[in-house]
Chain A
Amino acid sequence: KQEVTQIPAALSVPEGENLVLNCSFTDSAIYNLQWFRQDPGKGLTSLLLIQSSQREQTSGRLNASLDKSSGRSTLYIAASQPGDSATYLCAAEGSGATNKLIFGTGTLLAVQP
């Protein structure tokens, strides 16, 4: 059974700092790995999706990497801004499942001005 873990549960950084959020998964047979952002009281917004055949994806200041062999993904945020403050969730989609995402519990990020 796939399990997804995110460490740390919470992170506070000063504005301008580069940071890395971590995501681990137990079953390497995944179809893709997705990163989402959730603002308080809101739904989830997709940030990046990495297919199993890919090693990384980039969007603006965000870069996500995937290492299936070690069961790890990282989300790198460059030059953090207060507007980046949110909860970041990763989710793994199993290769044998029908778009079933298994979510981690998220990392709550606070970027201090």
Chain B
Amino acid sequence: NAGVTQTPKFRILKIGQSMTLQCTQDMNHNYMYWYRQDPGMGLKLIYYSVGAGITDKGEVPNGYNVSRSTTEDFPLRLELAAPSQTSVYFCASSYSSRGFVADTQYFGPGTRLTVL
């Protein structure tokens, strides 16, 4: 299993540009997440999904959009890039069946995004 894969690894955007960060998992996990990590800070949840077709906002959703058309893919869309979105973005997935299975999250290697 490749686990959680993310593309691209690095990207530089100009203010106002848009882009999509890709995330794919091959573990048949039902839950998927997007986090951002700013320097010296912990991770903050942007959006999450509990299954195909179902998404919900996390702590810091403004400026982002997501979709979940398949179990495997969970892309994150930035429509109008701003310098405040300069960060490292992590995608994660887990299998969750509350009360039965430990909800360990598996993380991708991250995408380092700079907005100039």
Contact = CB atoms under 8 A, between A and B. Distances in A.
B52 to A, nearest CB: 15
How many residues of B sit at the interface, in one of the four size bands? 20 to 34
Interface of B: 4, 31, 33, 40-45, 48, 50, 56, 58, 90, 92, 94, 96, 98, 102-110
A106 B48 contact: no
Given A44-B43, A98-B56, A103-B42, 12 more contacts: A4-B42, A42-B110, A43-B90, A43-B108, A43-B110, A44-B90, A44-B92, A46-B106, A99-B48, A99-B50, A105-B40, A106-B42
Interface residues of A, number: 24
7 contacts: A34-B105, A101-B45, A101-B105, A103-B42, A105-B40, A105-B41, A105-B42
Contacts of A103: 42-44
